[in-house]
Amino acid sequence: MEEKYETLKIQHESPNSGVFNLIINRPSVSNALGLNFFSEFPKVLNALDQNPIVAVIVLSGSGNHFCGGIDLKSLAAIADDNSGDQGRTRERLRRKIKLMQDAITAIERCRKPVIAAIHGACLGLGINIVTACDIRYCTKDAFFSVKEVDLAITADLGTLQRLPGIVGFGKAMELSLTGRRFSGDEAKELGLVSRVFGSREELKEGVRTIAEGIGGKPPLAVVGTKAVLIRSRDVNVEQGLDYVATWNSSMLLSEDLTEAISAQKQKRKPTFAKL
């Protein structure tokens, strides 16, 4: 956890807390992200996931914005990498895109819940990131745009696959084709975020309280709920039910269950072992 990163930093809420803050940390460029982000991000998420102290991850941005999109210098470098055989150039580009996609999907692979706390700009790549998060909140002054179409790109890191399931197909189509800017309040109306906070400080405090609440729940049930919901999103109801039956047949009979029932009966706060 002590390792330094170029695009990210980790902060622990307090020694007794299971909430960790993962902060996009390029404020001088509005948290626009270069290619190094795509190698650092999954590495950091995996480290947090494997740390038994971590219960919930809150993803936010330093400075004035959550994420200003992809760094245009990195985009230009990708565009300029076209020397030699065209078949090999295109195969190399496909591998690069798949690697970048995998970095964003690392949010879903992470067993621990990842909550996006969004302020300021959330553009392009930022939308790819937050749509992969488990819960999203924003400030009233946050603004969003599926910006890729204006950069002559078909969004390819997850927005076009995940956004329709969050806001509906028609709304996702409209936002993605127009690339228009929309507000935090509209994001709430669309269902992209669960709640809008009046200020960044209120966002930080509100999300911390929510994260602490989730972090205090039975760990096996929390990671199971995330895993089953993500799995059920991509299969039919019968397959989803079969998956959760298999999951609970292996996870349900645990010390967490015994402690949760005991605490309910004794009207006390439960204490669970770390995961």
Assess whether 209 and 168 both reside in one domain.
yes
Assess whether 141 and 209 both reside in one domain.
yes
How far apart are alpha carbons 100 and 44 in whole angstroms?
15
Q: Is the pLDDT of residue 83 over 50?
A: yes
DSSP state of 240: H
- The pLDDT confidence band at residue 24, using thresholds 50, 70 and 90, is very high
How far apart are alpha carbons 99 and 91 in whole angstroms?
12
Provide the number of structural domains found in the chain.
2
Whether residue 272 lies inside any domain: the answer is: no
Assess whether 20 and 92 both reside in one domain.
yes
Assess whether 85 and 164 both reside in one domain.
yes
Whether residue 125 lies inside any domain: the answer is: yes
CATH of the domain at 36: 3.90.226.10
Q: Is the pLDDT of residue 1 over 50?
A: no
Whether residue 3 lies inside any domain: the answer is: no
Assess whether 132 and 185 both reside in one domain.
yes
Whether residue 241 lies inside any domain: the answer is: yes
State pLDDT tens for residues 206-218.
999 999 999 999 9
Assess whether 187 and 237 both reside in one domain.
no
Q: Is the pLDDT of residue 97 over 80?
A: yes
- The pLDDT confidence band at residue 79, using thresholds 50, 70 and 90, is confident
User: Comparing C-alpha atoms, which of 11, 101, 25, 106 is closest to residue 66?
Assistant: 25
Query: Which of 69-73, 137-141, 251-255 tops mean pLDDT?
Result: 137-141
- The pLDDT confidence band at residue 86, using thresholds 50, 70 and 90, is confident
> In the predicted model, what is the mean pLDDT of residues 114-138?
98
Q: Give pTM, 2 decimals.
A: 0.93
CATH of the domain at 233: 1.10.12.10
Whether residue 273 lies inside any domain: the answer is: no
State pLDDT tens for residues 25-55.
999 999 999 999 999 999 999 999 999 999 9
Assess whether 37 and 158 both reside in one domain.
yes
The identity of residue 158, as a single letter, is G
**Which residues span the domain enclosing 257?**
219-266
Assess whether 239 and 123 both reside in one domain.
no
Nearest-Å Rg of the Cα atoms of the chain is: 20
Q: Is the pLDDT of residue 112 over 80?
A: yes
Assess whether 60 and 108 both reside in one domain.
yes
